[in-house]
């Protein structure tokens, strides 16, 4: 609701409207981290457009890929693991108009076998993200993966 009595939307917002819009934007951006984790863990590559902008870039130690087709091809490498579970933790977000940046903490668990024995690879990951508001909503434009730590253990 604006200060106009005619029912038309004024270019000026009340402070609470801007706060509500900011909170909504933050919630949509935070949701992207969870949607990414679910997409990867379920191998749901049809959801890539719900998470990444068309021209998005994903990079990390020894890899860089751009665009949905390359992202799907690169992320499909996760199929070498029997199962994965990406657990999203801390998220810091800074919004500036239709652009935003953020840092997302994640612990990713990867189950696999070595010589027939079950193993688990855990990684502490920090994602450095840039986001853009598109006609379809907020999307990741760049995501840089930084592996902070990793440990591998044989499961009993």
pLDDT digits (tens, 9 = 90+) for 73-85: 999 999 999 999 9
Longest CA pairwise span in the chain (Å): 73
Write down the pLDDT at residue 2: 39
- Average pLDDT (88-94) is 98
DSSP string for the chain: --S-SSSPPPSS--HHHHHHHHHHHHHHHHHHHHHHHHHHHHT-GGGHHHHEEEEEEEEETTEEEEHHHHHHHHHGGGGGSSEEEEEEEEEEEEEETTEEEEEEEEEEEEEEEETTEEEEEEEEEEEEEEEEEETTEEEEEEEEEEEEEEEEEE--
For the record, the structure tokens of 15 come out as: 């402070």
Write down the pLDDT at residue 14: 82
Write down the pLDDT at residue 80: 96
pLDDT tens digits along 102-126: 999 999 999 999 999 999 999 999 9
pLDDT tens digits along 128-152: 999 999 999 999 999 999 999 999 9
pLDDT at position 3 over 50: no
Confidence (pTM): 0.87
For the record, the structure tokens of 111 come out as: 């189950």
C-alpha triplet 144, 121, 101: angle, nearest 5°: 20
Q: Name the phi and psi angles at 50, rounded to 5.
A: -80, -15
- Average pLDDT (2-25) is 68
- Average pLDDT (84-105) is 98
Write down the pLDDT at residue 15: 82
What architecture is the 15-154 domain classified under in CATH? Roll (3.10)
For residues 122 and 148, is the Cβ–Cβ distance under 8 A?
no
Confidence of residue 35 (pLDDT cuts 50, 70, 90): very high
Domain residue spans in the chain?
15-154
């Amino acid at each position: 609701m604006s200060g106009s009595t005619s029912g038309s939307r004024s270019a000026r917002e009340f402070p609470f409207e801007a706060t509500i819009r900011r909170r909504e934007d933050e919630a949509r951006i935070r949701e992207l981290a969870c949607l990414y984790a679910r997409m990867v863990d379920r191998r749901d590559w049809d959801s890539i457009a719900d998470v990444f902008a068309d021209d998005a870039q994903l990079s990390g130690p020894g890899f860089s890929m751009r665009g949905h087709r390359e992202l799907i091809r690169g992320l499909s490498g996760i199929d070498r693991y029997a199962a994965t579970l990406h657990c999203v933790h801390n998220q810091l977000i800074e919004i500036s108009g239709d652009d935003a940046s953020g840092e997302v903490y994640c612990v990713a668990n990867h189950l696999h076998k070595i010589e027939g024995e079950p193993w688990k690879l855990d990684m502490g990951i920090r994602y450095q993200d840039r986001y853009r508001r598109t006609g379809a909503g907020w999307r990741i434009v760049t995501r840089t993966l930084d592996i902070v730590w990793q440990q591998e253990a044989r499961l009993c």
